[in-house]
A and B are shown apart, each in its own frame.
Chain A
Amino acid sequence: MSNKNTIVDIPTVNKIARLSRLDIPEASKQSLTNDLNNILGFVAQLEEVDTSDVKPLASVTGHRLPLRSDEVTDGNIEDLVLKNAPESSSGFFVVPKVIE
């Protein structure tokens, strides 16, 4: 791939993978880097649009998020909450040891 199309390199891909908490095997890093460069190169055409006076659009609905009173609407379903956990114990989710 030519330098012109290089937006991300392998060290950048390593950094994004780390931020994404994704284990990427060494063998697939180059092809992933190429794919990301192709996609980022394609979306870069947005640069040609003049957006100097345009406000970003985050929601198409136009209505404000509704508020409700802060009341309990559900609860006492500990069994259901833990039902799909890979590991649980005494009403808690279990994770690998975090503190030495």
Chain B
Amino acid sequence: MSDLLKFDLLSASIALKNKEFSSLELTNAYFEAIEKTSALGAYLEIIKDHSMNMAKASDKNINNGTSRPLEGLPIGVKDMFCTKDIKTTASSKILENFCPTYESTVTQNLWDDGAVMLGKLSCDEFAMGSSNETAAKGNVVNPWLKNSKMSPGGSSGGSASAVAARSALAATGTDTGGSIRQPAAFCGVTGLKPTYGRCSRWGIVAFSSSLDQAGPLTRTVSDAALMLNSMAGYDKKDSTSANLEMPDLMNYLDKGIKGKKIGIPKEYTQDGISQDIVKFYEKSINWLKESGAEILPVSLPHTKYALPVYYIIAPAEASSNLARYDGVRYGKRNEAASLDEMYEVTRGNGFGEEVKRRIMIGTYVLSSGYYDAYYLKAQKVRRLIKEDFDNVFEEVDYILTPSTPTTSFELGQKQDPLTMYLNDIFTVPASLAGLPGISLPVGLDKSGLPIGIQLIANSFDEPGLISTARALERSAEFNFIPDGAAT
């Protein structure tokens, strides 16, 4: 492996400031890595000239002593973020030629802090999926056990695969029901979904507006803290953006967790969960105990209803959000004689099967006669799920759960939509309650695939989440590199 690829975000940032190498050299090393790992299919678009210009500008700033927090660090961007004059497709055929005329707030924040953009990363179509197989241009491959063609998870599968394969130093993701945390777990990287409202949704392709949140996928907890510092912030262009200052997360890395109370919810150890994951879950509990935390059993009684609630609310909001793809203002159009037929053939051809299924479910649960029975009912149970968390956070500071019931599976293995939905069983509850969660790798299962453990914090307690995750990371000492990583 090129020596430059061994640096993580934080250590690369220090090395750049010490002029051990330049951003141009680092960015070049990443373009070589992108080429070497191209069979993984993580990138949809690379923009080498643009990246090199950004790197040169960063080197100038470093030499002038005017470095910004992410100066010269090359990162990948999930294709859900609108990037000005750079194709943004959300992995959908309907947006195959869409070139935004504006930049999303989150990516603008990253460029304003000096980051260098490598390109756009594949994901499930409109972020709807848990295996990256719904992407119009085909699935992404997990760099672990590269000959077995494992799923990187989804929807931020390209982001997780690239960070694990060392073809991006870090990447942005979006998480609606687990789309950052589940692929992070499958690819052995760290994925953080912030509190709903922490990162602006402006300029992110909308899927389910009451749930969508942007966050970082990185190699370490420190990197997640560094990157979220730049991504987060109040934005008056997003009416649900939280007008609340986030403290510098880098100050919380080594605060320790002495005396902190960690809740272990009894509902998260169910049938069907892999024995290797149970083993590492128990190890993680012990590690936190050894680090000085107090472990308490807790109960979140409505957990089993989280997935059914999610699969009403998310499709309902999606059916409304995706109404904008009408072949008139942007996106692909299929010609037809009448306006209505044009809408129908454009959308019928432009959307993939999973997206169409979710639009249909969403339309059904919002339609006259069914709204109360499905949509309103789901919103009521969503409140009960949120109240479960409110009650538990009266007793404990953080909640520890597995990130996923199983490790990664082979691509093409799960054909039934409902079986696929069960992947997100441990990540969806925190999404419905708007809570911050982080998945970090703690070990490998028998076949050599990474295992992710999730920590959930109360709203806006990203600082404490970072301290706790850092403590767990220190104990787990996960330093494996996938066989499919760039060499």
Hey, which bits of chain A sit against chain B, CB under 8 A?
8, 12-13, 16-17, 19-25, 32, 35-36, 38-40, 42-47, 49, 51, 54-61, 63, 65-66, 68, 77, 80-81, 83-87, 93, 95-98
Contacts and interface: CB of A to CB of B under 8 A. Distances in A.
Interface in B288-320: 302, 304-305, 307-309, 311-312, 319
Given A84-B98, A85-B329, A20 B319 contact: yes
A42 B311 contact: yes
21 contacts: A13-B360, A16-B360, A20-B363, A22-B347, A22-B348, A22-B360, A23-B345, A23-B349, A38-B417, A39-B311, A42-B307, A42-B421, A43-B311, A47-B377, A56-B376, A56-B380, A59-B240, A60-B210, A84-B99, A96-B335, A96-B339
B197 A56 contact: no
**A contacts with B: majority SS:** loop
Given A36-B357, A38-B417, A87-B333, A22 B351 contact: yes
Contacts of B308: 42-46
B249 interface: no
Given A60-B210, A65-B239, A20 B333 contact: no
Interface in B355-389: 356-357, 359-361, 363-364, 367, 374, 376-384, 386
A86 to B, nearest CB: 4
Query: Which of A12, A22, A35, A58 lies at the interface centre, i.e. has the most chain B CB atoms within 10 A of its CB?
Result: A22
Given A36-B357, A51-B381, 20 more contacts: A16-B364, A20-B359, A20-B363, A23-B347, A39-B421, A42-B418, A43-B308, A43-B374, A46-B312, A54-B381, A55-B383, A56-B380, A60-B196, A60-B433, A84-B101, A86-B327, A96-B335, A96-B339, A96-B341, A96-B342
B47 interface: no
A37 B433 CA distance: 27
Contacts of A84: 97-99, 101, 329-331
Given A36-B361, A86-B332, A58 B210 contact: yes
Nearest to B349: A23
A92 B343 CA distance: 18
A57 B379 CA distance: 5
Interface in B320-341: 323, 326-333, 335-341
Contacts of A66: 236, 239, 243
Contact of B343 (A13, A21, A43, A46): A21
B296 to A, nearest CB: 24
B344 A21 contact: yes
Nearest to A24: B348
B464 interface: no
B242 interface: yes
Contacts of A32: 356-357, 360
B98 A98 contact: no
A45 B374 CA distance: 11
B263 interface: no
A42 B374 CA distance: 12
B434 interface: yes
Contacts, number: 165
B357 A35 contact: yes
Contact of A86 (B305, B331, B380): B331
Contacts of B196: 60-61
Name the interface size band of chain B. Answer: 35 or more
A44 B307 CA distance: 11
A51 B384 contact: yes
A49 B301 CA distance: 11
Given A57-B382, A85-B328, A86-B328, A8 B364 contact: yes
A24 B344 CA distance: 9
A49 B381 contact: yes
Instruction: List the 5 closest A-B pairs by CB distance, nearest first.
Output: A23-B348, A60-B434, A56-B379, A84-B330, A86-B333
A35 B359 CA distance: 13
Nearest to B310: A43
Nearest to B364: A16
A21 B347 contact: yes
A55 to B, nearest CB: 6
B342 A38 contact: no
Contacts of A85: 328-330
Given A19-B367, A96-B337, A38 B380 contact: no
Contact of B380 (A45, A57, A60, A87): A57
A66 B242 CA distance: 11
A87 to B, nearest CB: 7
B210 A39 contact: no
Given A61-B240, A96-B342, A24 B356 contact: yes
Contacts of B361: 36, 39-40
A43 B384 CA distance: 16
A68 B377 CA distance: 33
A83 B319 contact: no
A3 B376 CA distance: 26
Contacts of B417: 35, 38-39
Contacts of B236: 66, 68
